[in-house]
Amino acid sequence: MANKRRFGDQNYVKIKKTCVKKGQLFVDTLFPPTNASLFLEQGRSSDIVWKRPAELHNDPHLFVEGASPNDVTQGILGNCWFVSACSALTHNQHLLNRVIPDAEAQEWDPKNEYAVCGLKT
């Protein structure tokens, strides 16, 4: 992926190499798949289950035939601000490309689940 930017002390190349070597998918320690990443209140419980793309669909894609405002829907999580921001990004391809650089390179590859290793860069 072009122009990989560090987030905190995370290094994409090192993280990917470690994931591939260990045969493990990436779990972000700064944004773990727990309630603490979703809620400000400590100890809040919910019925939310974190899943990877392949657990939701046998052929997942980041985008199908481009992106439009109707592609995003709010679920049970109270995140209308986030859904609105995602919808607004679809109106400006340049901004969308800055938020999700190299979207095609981040597409799911069922033959190589470590191709992106679940990283968002």
A 10 A CB-CB count for 91 gives 11
Based on the residue annotation, tell me whether 80 is a catalytic residue of this protein.
yes
**Is residue 12 within 8 Å of residue 119, measured between CB atoms?**
yes
Most distant CA pair in the chain, distance: 40
Count of beta carbons in the 10 Å neighbourhood of residue 109: 10
Choose, from 19, 80, 86, 117, the residue flagged as catalytic: 80
* Residue 32 to residue 64: CA distance in whole angstroms: 27
Q: What is the CA radius of gyration of the chain?
A: 16
Could you list the active site residues?
80
